């Protein structure tokens, strides 16, 4: 039956094209699904089978019909994708991307600069305890071991430093 379809299609039989579409249409749709958006598959499938009809004289009935159809589908998909204009948006209408906390990176940079300047105003022991806790992600116990000081001293330095930072830094808007 397949050989008969191959011969009839190559010979220009209209019914053979309809049979080919019925038999191999799902194969072509599933192949195209890998390349084009779902809403464009049926249109492109029609383009593929129109090309099959136009190119039927080049088809060798002794060869694999599905492979020939996939070759045409591939070429039409590539042509289709090349013809599409990518969706672009002018840069002047795009906002800066938001950071993890929802604010823009520029806001975060400004706040980071304020915090760095405020930390520089602290006495070295307080600054060191806070930096190890927040930037080094160490617990107070780990800080005490690292600095070779009692745990109570680390807690006092951290509390005094944070209190002083709250006086230096402007309040955060909620």
In this structure, the answer to whether residues 110 and 76 fall within a common structural domain is no
Both tokens of 37, joined, read: 């958006």
Q: How does pLDDT run across 18-66, given as a tens digit for each residue?
A: 999 999 999 999 999 998 999 999 999 999 999 999 999 999 999 999 9
The CATH number assigned to the domain holding 12 equals 1.10.1740.10
Q: How does pLDDT run across 106-127, given as a tens digit for each residue?
A: 666 777 788 888 889 999 999 9
Q: How far apart are CA 144 and CA 138, in angstroms?
A: 10
If you average pLDDT over residues 125-132, what whole number do you get?
92
Is 96's pLDDT higher than 70?
Answer: no
Q: How does pLDDT run across 138-164, given as a tens digit for each residue?
A: 999 999 999 999 999 999 999 999 999
DSSP H/E element including 161 = helix 151-168
Q: How far apart are CA 110 and CA 114, in angstroms?
A: 6
Contact 123, 157 (CB under 8 A): no
Residue 63 forms part of a structural domain? yes
pLDDT given at position 97: 62
Q: Write out the E strands in 20-162.
A: none
Contact 96, 106 (CB under 8 A): yes
What is the extent of the structural domain holding 17? 1-85
Q: Which residue has 């589908």 as its token pair? A: 73
Contact 160, 128 (CB under 8 A): no
Residue 24 forms part of a structural domain? yes
């Amino acid at each position: 039956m397949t050989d008969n379809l191959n011969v009839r299609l190559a010979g220009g039989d209209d019914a053979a094209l309809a049979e080919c579409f019925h038999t191999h249409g799902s194969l072509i749709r599933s192949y195209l699904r890998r390349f084009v958006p779902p809403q464009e598959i049926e249109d492109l499938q029609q383009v593929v089978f129109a090309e099959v009809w136009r190119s039927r004289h080049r088809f060798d009935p002794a060869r694999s019909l599905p492979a020939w159809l996939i070759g045409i589908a591939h070429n039409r998909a590539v042509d289709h994708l090349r013809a599409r204009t990518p969706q672009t948006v002018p840069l002047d209408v795009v906002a800066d991307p938001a950071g993890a906390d929802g604010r823009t990176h520029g806001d975060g940079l400004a706040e980071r600069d304020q915090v760095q300047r405020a930390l520089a105003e602290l006495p070295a022991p307080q600054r060191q305890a806070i930096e190890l806790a927040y930037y080094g992600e160490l617990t107070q116990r780990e800080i005490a071991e690292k600095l070779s000081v009692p745990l109570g001293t680390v807690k006092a330095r951290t509390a005094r430093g944070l209190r002083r930072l709250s006086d230096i830094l402007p309040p955060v808007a909620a």
